[in-house]
Amino acid sequence: MIEASLYLLAFAAAAAGCLSIERRHIEVFGNPPSPMRRLLLKIAAWILLAAALCEAVFEQGPGIGAVEWTIAAGLGAILLIVVASFRPRWVPRLGVMAACWGMALTVIG
Amino acid sequence: MSTSIRKSLAWLHAWAGLVAGWALFMMFLAGTASVFKEEITAWMSPELGPGIDAMDALEAAEARLNAVAPDAERWSIRLPSERSPATRITWRARDASVTESEMLDAGSGRVVAARETRGGDLFYRLHYRFEISNPVRRGWWISGAATMFMLVAIMTGVLTHKRIFRDFFTFRPRAATQRTWLDAHLLLAVPLLPFHLMIAYTGLVPIMTTVMPWGMIANYGDERPLLEQLADLDAARRAYSSDRRADPAAQRPPAHVPSPTVALRSIAEQAAQQLGGPVGSISVRNPNDANAVVEVVRRPGGALSNRPARLLFDGSTGDPLPVTTSPSPVAKIQAALYGMHMARFADPMLRWAYFAAGLASSAMIATGLTLWIIKRRRRFTDQTRIPFGHWLVERLNIAAIVGLPIAMAAYFWANRLLPLDVAARAQLEVRTFFLVWLSTLVVAMLRPADRAWAEVLGSAAFAFGAIPLLNALTTDRHLVASVVQGDWLMAGFDSTMAAIGLLFAWCAVKVAGRTRASAAEGTAVPSALDSSTWRSHE
């Protein structure tokens, strides 16, 4: 199951990245993000992506790990964008849940 | 970038995508199905049950080979796995030109009378050679050319996209039709861009000896003039592949001194530990001869390379033999690129990810083909005069995008419904596939576009959605039974088919709803994909 954490972290990274976009943030929270909040969301997105890469390389080795990370990041982003387009309010909740589960699985595994 | 260059690139993107689009869609969809090639074959051979221990299978296979071909030139045994319950033995008798093969039941060691089918192999052959067998490599040329178009389309697509990063998270399902389709096209294209590039580029590696033979000729060519060698690549190809494959120890000639080969089970168990993974296949050269050589190949996994690790053993003593050749860095890179395309190394989760990404690629091409129509339709205000080209493109779109999946489902139906003892059964299944595909094109040509979309989508929903039912009626391995027994291969196939059926049903309802809505409004642009009720140009 530990492998699933890669996909969860990729989804969470996309959620954070999406919320750092002003228009998307307004759709979800009703107000534009402060510059600080935007920056933090962006940093969170990149950290989550990096964590996913570490996880993949650690689990599968650099070759397969890089391939799987690339696909996971793409699929995670597509899924997130679909969620954000039809159910924008779910984005923060699902993003936080995915991040927590992803990290929990990594730690347990 | 100046606007005129961007316009030219957009033009190139649209036309490169259109010209190769249908071929590429088929290559991507068939390739995506090929990710589960083994599983498809297993579903299509329901006589072969699950739960087989690989080592028991090996013993049964060895006994069978000793009975039918004790002094063959070579034996090969492909062991069963979770992905494929079949144990396949092949052998080639001395001085014989043909290789014979059988499928075995591991429990009894007897030959299984599984129904004749090509299984997932059809999609695999379709994927890179369009099921063209004569001349063998014509299909390679077509897929190679289509791949070049794909690379052109990817490059021009990236360059014409004005705000590739800023619009990364943009998808507006409720915007105007053309905008939504463009958003969907970008949504499928941009996040998976590295995957699209990787798959298109590495797809050239398996066929490079045909479409880019220069390097091979430079290294493995002979004294003939270059043009002659280009016209007949077989000699260079043989030298190239034997150089990559062969280990001198594995090629040693028979001693013609009888000596029983040691039990393969003990060799396989020893090898599995050294290889760090399960054994996928075993071959024996010169079985029951003093010079017998046993080659044990790991099941793919743990590395990108399409050439899994292997070990050699002396067949009469069971001692390991040194593997003397080690591949050059170039050969290793070639094997890794090849492997990346084939994804044989993938564990279940990564396999599903490849499958999902492949579906996204196929859908990207499908949305691109649809966009071509939607964009150009606006130019025609007089709805009765549609140019023949546009009429044809939309028909081909329907037959390619929905017709191909219907044909795939029909292939599965044929597998279950054709009598088991009919002659040339495997070919009949394939023929059903092509006939059904052709008939979707006929339907698309005879019906107005919007109706045709709704009808073929509805047919696809039924064709896929009813497959679990079909399986339940024609075999005893229905969905409930396979879930109860933990037979995840069978259960996974059935439920995937049901899910695909639901997806098509959703599309059909959407399309039919939109057609009805615009018909109620009495507008002149009432179509499914908002593509107007075109008649042919006459």
ipTM score of the complex?
0.96
On the question of pLDDT at B478 being above 80, the answer is yes
DSSP for A39-106 reads HHHHHHHHHHHHHHHHHHHHHHHHHHHHHHHHHHHHHHHHHHHHHHHH-TTHHHHHHHHHHHHHHHHH
Distance CA A22, CA A42 (A): 12
Q: Check A63 against B304: CB less than 8 A apart.
A: yes
Query: Virtual CA dihedral for B422, B426, B430, B436, nearest 10 degrees?
Result: 30
Q: Do the beta carbons of residue B501 and residue B466 sit within 8 Å?
A: yes
Residue B187: per-residue pLDDT? 94
Distance CA B202, CA B195 (A): 10
Mean pLDDT lowest among A63-67, B162-166, B261-265, B419-423: B162-166
On the question of pLDDT at B470 being above 80, the answer is yes
Please tell me what DSSP assigns to residue B50: S
Residue with tokens 């396979």: B482
Residue B16: per-residue pLDDT? 94
Which residues of chain B are within 8 Å of residue A68 when distances are taken between CB atoms?
Answer: 350, 353
Q: Check B168 against A67: CB less than 8 A apart.
A: no
On the question of pLDDT at B353 being above 90, the answer is yes
What is the spatial order of strands in the sheet that B293-298 belongs to?
A: B100-104, B87-92, B74-78, B279-285, B293-298, B310-314, B320-321
Residue B254: per-residue pLDDT? 87
Residue B524: per-residue pLDDT? 44
3-state SS class at B292: coil
Hey, which of A37-51, B213-227, B262-276 has the most confident mean pLDDT? A37-51
* Range B226-244 average pLDDT: 82
pLDDT, tens digit (0-9, with 9 covering 90-100), for B444-457? 999 988 889 999 99
Higher pLDDT, B48 or A67: A67
Please name the amino acid found at residue B20: A
Higher pLDDT, B258 or A74: A74
pLDDT, tens digit (0-9, with 9 covering 90-100), for B412-427? 999 999 999 899 999 9
Higher pLDDT, B250 or A27: A27
Residue A72 near chain B (CB below 8 Å):
yes
Please name the amino acid found at residue A58: F
Task: State in Å, rounded, how far the first CA of chain B is from the last one.
Answer: 42
Pick from A68, A74, A85: CB nearest B350: A68
Mean pLDDT lowest among B36-40, B85-89, B165-169, B441-445: B165-169
Please name the amino acid found at residue B509: V
Distance CA B87, CA B89 (A): 7
Residue with tokens 């795939």: B408
Residue A73 near chain B (CB below 8 Å):
yes
Distance CA B470, CA B363 (A): 27
Instruction: Name the β-bridge partners of B162.
Output: none
Which residues of chain A are within 8 Å of residue B193 when distances are taken between CB atoms?
Answer: 74
- The CA-based angle B445-B448-B454, given to 5 degrees, is 100
Give the contacts of B137 (CB within 8 A, at least 6 positions apart).
B129, B210
Residue B165 near chain A (CB below 8 Å):
no
**B302: nearest Cα among A87, A89, A63, A82:** A63
What is chain A's length? Answer: 109
Instruction: Name the β-bridge partners of B220.
Output: none
**B189: nearest Cα among B362, B316, B394:** B362
* pLDDT band for position A102 (cuts 50, 70, 90): very high
* pLDDT band for position B327 (cuts 50, 70, 90): confident
* Range B248-264 average pLDDT: 84
Cα dihedral across residues B526, B530, B533, B538: positive or negative: positive
Please give the share of chain B, as a percent, with pLDDT higher than 70. Answer: 93
Residue B533: per-residue pLDDT? 37
Distance CA B406, CA B409 (A): 5
Mean pLDDT lowest among A101-105, B168-172, B197-201, B381-385: B381-385
Q: Do the beta carbons of residue B397 and residue B18 sit within 8 Å?
A: no
Give the contacts of A104 (CB within 8 A, at least 6 positions apart).
A5
- Helices B467-474 and B404-417: crossing angle in degrees, nearest 10, is 10
Please tell me the pTM assigned to this model. Answer: 0.92
**A17: nearest Cα among A50, A32, A34, A39:** A39
Q: Check A71 against B349: CB less than 8 A apart.
A: no
Q: Do the beta carbons of residue B302 and residue A61 sit within 8 Å?
A: yes
Q: Is B254 left (phi over 0), alpha (psi -120 to 50) or beta?
A: beta
Number of helices (H), then strands (E), belonging to chain B: the values are 21, 7
The residue of A64, A80, A91 whose CB has the most chain B CBs within 10 angstroms, and thus the best one to mutate to test that interface, is A64
Domain ranges within chain B, ordered by starting residue: 1-44+117-246+331-378, 51-114+258-324, 382-538
Residue B107: per-residue pLDDT? 59
Residue B384: per-residue pLDDT? 62
The residue of B350, B361, B506 whose CB has the most chain A CBs within 10 angstroms, and thus the best one to mutate to test that interface, is B350
B337-340: long-range pairs with CB below 8 Å, 24+: B337/B201, B337/B202, B337/B205, B338/B202, B338/B205, B338/B206, B338/B305, B338/B306, B339/B300, B339/B303, B339/B304, B339/B305, B339/B306, B339/B307, B340/A67, B340/B198, B340/B202, B340/B304
Q: Do the beta carbons of residue A79 and residue A11 sit within 8 Å?
A: yes
Q: Check B191 against A75: CB less than 8 A apart.
A: yes
